Amino acid sequence: MDFDFSSDQVELREAVTAFARAELNGNLLEEERDGHFSRTKWEAAARFGLHGLPMPEAFGGTDRDLLTTVCAMEGLGYGCRDNGLIFSLNAHVWSAEMPILKFGTPEQKDRYLPRLVGGEWIAVHAMTEEGSGSDAFNVQTTATRRGDRFVLNGSKLFITNAPVADVVVVFASEDLSSGPDGISAFLVEKGTPGFSVSRPFEKMGLRTSPMGQIFLEDCEVPEELRLGGEGAGVALFNSSMDYERACILAANIGTLERQLETCVERARTWERFGKAIGKFQSVSNKITDMKVRLETARLLLYKTAWLKSQGKRASMESAMAKLYVSECFVQSSLDAIEIFGAYGYMAEYEIERDLRDAVGGTIYSGTSGIQRMIVARHLGL
């Protein structure tokens, strides 16, 4: 067993951190307060190559294996304090680029992947509806065949990137009576008649990642834009969920590391009762727990990415990684606030934001309750 990254992987991680520090942290307090999504940062990240890490060179990517991609994302979380931007980027890669790569026709790949990898277009997938969340396959949006086109009707809720998206992978049922087997996926482009998006939602955290509702009213999509075959929606969704659960939180490992370093520095230098607060066991115990969480979350994530890099199945590991990393991020963010006291509660210290951002991670890509259910099923329960 080898726990070392190669020198190339370490160099990439460090380069991503340096890039993120230099280009992705500007005006964050204001952008976060105003819920502003920065297209400038998005394009800079794409120019650097972050959008194409796991994508083939033929589409503008750098063809990194999953473990290397996760390593680079960790460097991103370490250097970039904008969790919202990181989340939007990861949603774009794992829920749109990846299914297009895995399920798309040559024409679909040629049309979308270079634009998505190059940062020119923004994408995401839309599954959730008012009547379906955890029970994702209870889709009521319909796709009715009309000649060589499909007519989509319905709406999609809580869709990341929707207000800025150029193309959305929409899940809709070709036959409601067939349940999950009737679900297919469609590539719907901004500007298609009948496709519209709400105003961006106000959220607790991840505020620089825009979210909205999508409306489909007699929205006609040519047959060539069905992604995967008839009824392939569930297979496609499960495949991208496996990637998403394994990788979408990789950047949080870097964030947990930065958070830990910030707290260690504070505990060494901040004095109360005439000594550094790190000398009080209730503070040092918190920091120790943060360190243990970071290392265990990292191991779980690396193992999952390694399994997937080897082409092995990792549904249970992906669910465990998603569950554990997201909950570690919430707990360590709470600990960080307590270590900083009232300063940690003030926006300008940029400690409290992580907690608000972390909570989202326990909900998207399936709630913690659903991840536990997946693991329990794998255990035969």
Binding site for ligand FAD (CB under 6 A): 91, 124-128, 133-134, 158-160, 206, 360, 363-364, 366-367, 369-370, 373
Tokens at 158, concatenated = 């809580």
CB-CB neighbours of 354 under 10 Å: 26
Q: Maximum distance among all alpha carbons in the chain?
A: 80
- Alpha-carbon Rg for the chain in angstroms: 21
- Cα distances from 282 to residues 259, 277, 291, 330, in angstroms, run 18, 9, 15, 19
Beta carbon of residue 320, minimum distance to ligand FAD (angstroms, whole number): 16
**Bridge partners, 219 (sequence order):** 152
Query: Comparing C-alpha atoms, which of 172, 159, 271 is closest to residue 226?
Result: 172
Backbone angles phi, psi at 197, to 5 degrees: -130, 145
- Residues with Cβ within 8 Å of residue 200, at least 6 apart in sequence: 35, 163, 210, 211, 212
Beta carbon of residue 10, minimum distance to ligand FAD (angstroms, whole number): 31
Which H helix or E strand runs over 126? Answer: strand 123-126
Q: Where are the alpha helices (DSSP H) in 187-280?
A: 233-247, 250-269
Nearer to ligand FAD, 140 or 367 (CB): 367
Beta carbon of residue 198, minimum distance to ligand FAD (angstroms, whole number): 14
Nearer to ligand FAD, 76 or 124 (CB): 124
Tokens at 327, concatenated = 């909950």
SS3 content of the chain, % helix, strand, coil (to 5): 60, 15, 25
- Residues with Cβ within 8 Å of residue 283, at least 6 apart in sequence: 267, 277, 339
- Cα distances from 112 to residues 52, 64, 95, 169, 183, in angstroms, run 12, 19, 13, 11, 22
The dihedral sign for the CA sequence 186, 190, 195, 196: positive
Beta carbon of residue 252, minimum distance to ligand FAD (angstroms, whole number): 14
Angle at 148 between CA 147 and CA 152, to 5 degrees: 85
Beta carbon of residue 292, minimum distance to ligand FAD (angstroms, whole number): 26
Nearer to ligand FAD, 9 or 333 (CB): 333
Q: Which residue is nearest to ligand FAD (CB)?
A: 133
Decide if 300 contacts 314 (C-beta within 8 A). no
Beta carbon of residue 245, minimum distance to ligand FAD (angstroms, whole number): 11
- Residues with Cβ within 8 Å of residue 6, at least 6 apart in sequence: none
Q: Considering 244, 257, 317, 352, which one is annotated as catalytic?
A: 244
Nearer to ligand FAD, 53 or 370 (CB): 370
Nearer to ligand FAD, 103 or 158 (CB): 158
Beta carbon of residue 371, minimum distance to ligand FAD (angstroms, whole number): 9
d(CA 118, CA 49): 8
317 is catalytic: no
Nearer to ligand FAD, 319 or 339 (CB): 319
Nearer to ligand FAD, 267 or 330 (CB): 330
Nearer to ligand FAD, 75 or 366 (CB): 366
**Bridge partners, 150 (sequence order):** 145, 221
Beta carbon of residue 67, minimum distance to ligand FAD (angstroms, whole number): 25
Active site residues: 244
